[in-house]
C-alpha cells in the first residue's frame, strides 16, 4: 500500500524546490537584457532591481 503524500502540481513560476535550485546563478545581463532597471513582483509587492552609475546592483521596494 502506497502511503506517500500526493505531490503538488507543477507551477508556471520558477520556484526553488530543492537545494540545487536555490544555488543557481543567473547572469544579471540575462535578467536586465540591456536595460538599467527591472521590476520584480514578489508576494504581491513590486521591487526594482537597477544598475547604479558605479555598475553595482541595488534592489528597492
pLDDT value at position 17?
A: 54
Which residues, in sequence order, are bridge partners of residue 37?
50
Q: Band the pLDDT of 11: cuts 50, 70, 90.
A: very low
Q: Is 57 helix (H, G, I), strand (E, B) or coil?
A: strand
Q: What is the pLDDT of residue 23?
A: 84
Residue 10: pLDDT band (50, 70, 90) is: very low
15: confidence class by pLDDT, cuts 50, 70, 90: low
Amino acid at each position: 500500500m502506497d502511503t506517500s503524500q500526493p505531490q503538488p502540481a507543477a507551477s508556471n513560476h520558477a520556484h526553488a524546490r530543492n537545494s540545487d535550485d536555490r544555488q543557481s546563478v543567473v547572469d544579471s545581463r540575462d535578467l536586465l537584457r540591456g536595460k538599467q532597471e527591472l521590476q520584480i513582483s514578489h508576494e504581491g509587492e513590486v521591487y526594482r532591481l537597477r544598475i547604479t552609475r558605479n555598475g553595482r546592483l541595488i534592489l528597492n521596494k
